[in-house]
A and B are shown apart, each in its own frame.
Chain A
Amino acid sequence: MIIEPSDQTNVSLTTETTKPKQQKIKIHRLNAMKVVLGVLAGLTLLSFMTMDRGSVSLIKATSEFLVNLKYMFLQPKVSVNLLQGLSNSLLLTLGLSILTTFIGVFFGFIFAVLSATNLLDRRYTLIARSVMAFIRAVPTILWVLVFSIVCGLGINAAVLGLSLHSIAYLGKAYSDSIEALGTDRLESFKASGVGFWATVCQGVIPSIKPALISWSFIRLEINFANAVAIGAAAGAGGIGYQLFVSSAFDFDFHEVGTIVYLILITAIILEIIAVQIRKQFIDTTQR
C-alpha cells in the first residue's frame, strides 16, 4: 500500500507547539480499513439516533420476547395430526427449492458461459452481466410478487421468482469460476479448431466441475431459506405459509416452535451436505 502524505501530517502538528524534546512518536498508520470501519460506526450511530423505536418499553418487550422464545424452543407442540400436515408442507417447500435449483443450475450455466470474458468478447459478456446484475438486485420476494400478477399467487409464481434469482446468482458464481481458468487452458482447444460449445463441454465443464457442484449446493441451501420466506411473505404455500399463519394469525408460539424445529433440522441437514461436498473438493476449488 502506498504511504499517502496525509498519513504523516499528524506527526508534526502537536510537536511544534510543545517542547521539541518531547516529540510524540507516531506508531500507527491510518489505513483504508480503519476509515471504512470509522465510517460504518458513524453511520450506525446516525441510524440509531434517527431510528423509529415506537413506544414499547424495551425491557418489557425483551422479556416477553424471551418468554415466547421459551414457548417456541422448550415447549413445542407435538401432535400426530400437526406433524403430518407440516411434513407435507415441508416436502413441498423442499421440492420447490430443489426444482428451482435445477432450473438455476441449467440456465445459470448458460448465462455464465455468455458472461465469461475468457470465452466471449466483452461486447456480449457485458449484456449478460448487466441482465444478471439487474435480476440479482431485485429481492426474490419482489420477483415472486411480480410474477404472481400474471400467473396468480401460488406455485407457478414461486417457482419463477426463485428460479430467476437462482439463475442470476449461479450465473455470476459460475462465470467467476470459469474466468479463474484463465485463457491459456482454453486456447489449446481454440488452436485445434474445436467449436465453441464443444470447448465448453469438453474443456470448461470438466475443469470447473468441483466449483459447479459446490456452488449449486450452496444455492440449494439459499433456495430453501428463500422458499420458506416467500411462502410466508407472498402466501405462496409450503411450510413458510404455515409459519406465517401460526405466528401472525394464531399467535400460537408452541406451534411456531414445532415448525421452526422442522425447518431448522432440514436446513442443518442441507448445510451438512453442502459442507461435506465442499470438503470433498476442497483442494480443487481453491483458486
Chain B
Amino acid sequence: MKSLENGLNYQDLQTQLRQKRHKQFWTLLVVGGSYLALSWLLHFSNTIGIWAIPKSFSWLFINFVPHAQTMQTLPDILSKLLATIGLAISSAFIAAIFAIGLVSFCAPVMPHYLGVKRVVRLIASFLRNIPLVAWSMLLLFTFKQNDLTGFLALFLMSLGFLLRAFLEIMEDESSQIAEALQVTGAGGLVILCRGVLPTVMPQFVSWILYMIENNIRDATLVGILTGTGIGFVFDSYFKSLRYDLAGITVLCIIVVVIALENISAQLRRVIA
C-alpha cells in the first residue's frame, strides 16, 4: 500500500518537474526571441553596443578629467548647481502643499469623498503621465528661458507623483483614528487636521524627500530642454566640446545625488 502511494507520488513529481522545465524553456525562448526581434526591428546592433561600453567609459575617464583651468569655472558651476537644488526642493515642497490640500478632500471623514477621490485620481494620472518634455516645451514657449519655467515643469510632475503616493497612503491608513475622534463629536475637517494628517505626515515627508532626489535628476533633463540650471550648463559645455567642464558638472551632480540619497535615508530613519 505504502509503496504504491510512493510510486504514484514519484510519477506525479516527475510529470510536474517536466512541466516546469517545459514552462521555463518556453519562457526563455519567448523572452530571448522577442529580445532578438526587438533588436532587429529597432536596428539596435548588439555587437556595437557591447563594444561601445568599454570604449565610452575609457573615453569618459580620459576626457572628463578636470585640469587646472577647469577649477576657475567651478564657482560658476556651483552657483548654478545650488540654484538647481533650490528648484528641486521648492518644486517638491510646493507640490506637496497642493497635494496635501487635494488629498485632504479624499479622506474618508470628508463628505462625498468617493466622488472627489475619483477626480483627484484622474488629475494625478493625467499630470504624471504627460511627458516632462511636453510640460517643459509648453512652459518654455510662454514663460521663456528662466528658472521659473524649470520650477513649473518640475512642480507639475511632482504634483502628479505626490498625489498618487499620498492617495495610496490615505487609503491604507485605517479609519480607526477617525472613529476615535468622531466619538468626541468632532466634525470632518477637525478630524482631518488633528487625527488623520498627523498620522500620515511622516510617510508624506518620506515621499517629499524622495521627490527632491528625483527632481535633481529630472532637473538636468528639464535644464537641457529649457536652457536653465545645471542641465543647461552641462549641455552647453558638452556641445562646445569643453569636456573637462562637462565632466566636473557631472561630478557635481553625482555628488549631490548620492549625498541627498544618504541624507534622506538618514532622515527617514529618524522620522519613522
A touches B (Cβ under 8 A): yes
- Across chains A and B, the number of contacting residue pairs, with CB separation under 8 Å, is 202
Binary interface profile of A, 31-69, with partner B (CB < 8 Å = 1, else 0)? 111001100110110111011111010000110110011
Q: Is the interface of A mostly helix, strand, loop or mixed?
A: helix
A244 touches B52 (CB 8 A): no
Distance A160 CA – B134 CA, assembled complex (angstroms) = 24
Q: Which of A31, A95, A268 contacts B41 (CB 8 A)?
A: A95
B145 touches A54 (CB 8 A): yes
Q: Which of A134, A136, A149, A251 contacts B141 (CB 8 A)?
A: A251
| Most chain A CB neighbours (cut-off 10 Å) among B38, B41, B142 | B142
Distance A37 CA – B197 CA, assembled complex (angstroms) = 14
Which of B7-15, B65-73, B106-114, B201-209 participates in binding chain A? B201-209
A160 touches B49 (CB 8 A): yes
B144 touches A44 (CB 8 A): no
Distance A90 CA – B58 CA, assembled complex (angstroms) = 34
Count of chain A residues with Cβ under 8 Å from any Cβ of B? 71
Measured CB to CB, the closest approach of chain B to A205, in angstroms, equals 10
B90 touches A47 (CB 8 A): yes
B48 touches A156 (CB 8 A): yes
B116 within 8 A of A: no
Measured CB to CB, the closest approach of chain B to A179, in angstroms, equals 15
A44 touches B90 (CB 8 A): yes
Nearest B-chain residue to A272, judged by Cβ: B125
Nearest A-chain residue to B264, judged by Cβ: A36
A233 within 8 A of B: yes
Binary interface profile of B, 188-201, with partner A (CB < 8 Å = 1, else 0)? 00000000000001
Q: How big is chain B's contact interface, by range?
A: 35 or more
On whether A142 and B250 interact (CB within 8 A), knowing A44-B93, A54-B143, A263-B129, the answer reads: yes
On whether A52 and B147 interact (CB within 8 A), knowing A37-B205, A43-B86, A229-B133, the answer reads: yes
Binary interface profile of A, 217-242, with partner B (CB < 8 Å = 1, else 0)? 00000000100110011000000100
Please, which residues of chain A bring their CB within 8 A of the CB of B250?
138, 142
- CB within 8 Å of A: which of B97-155? 125-126, 129-134, 137-148, 151
B90 touches A247 (CB 8 A): no
B238 touches A145 (CB 8 A): yes
B130 touches A260 (CB 8 A): yes
Please, which residues of chain A bring their CB within 8 A of the CB of B86?
43, 46-47, 50-51
B180 within 8 A of A: no
A248 within 8 A of B: yes
Q: Which of B34, B52, B87, B270 contacts A156 (CB 8 A)?
A: B52
Please, which residues of chain B bring their CB within 8 A of the CB of A191?
none
Measured CB to CB, the closest approach of chain A to B44, in angstroms, equals 5
Which of A15-23, A76-84, A96-104, A118-126 participates in binding chain B? A96-104
A114 within 8 A of B: no
Please, which residues of chain B bring their CB within 8 A of the CB of A50?
83, 86
Nearest A-chain residue to B221, judged by Cβ: A141
Please, which residues of chain B bring their CB within 8 A of the CB of A182?
none
Measured CB to CB, the closest approach of chain A to B115, in angstroms, equals 21
A233 touches B221 (CB 8 A): yes
Given A53-B147, A138-B253, output 12 extra A-B contacts at Cβ < 8 Å: A33-B201, A54-B146, A56-B144, A65-B141, A133-B258, A134-B254, A134-B258, A233-B224, A247-B134, A260-B131, A263-B134, A268-B129
List 9 tightest A-B contacts by C-beta distance, closest first: A47-B86, A54-B146, A247-B137, A267-B129, A137-B257, A44-B90, A47-B90, A232-B133, A137-B254
24 A-B contact pairs sorted by A residue (CB < 8 Å):
A31-B271, A33-B205, A36-B205, A40-B93, A44-B94, A47-B90, A51-B86, A51-B151, A65-B138, A68-B141, A69-B138, A95-B42, A139-B220, A142-B234, A155-B44, A156-B44, A160-B53, A225-B132, A228-B131, A229-B131, A244-B225, A248-B140, A256-B134, A259-B134
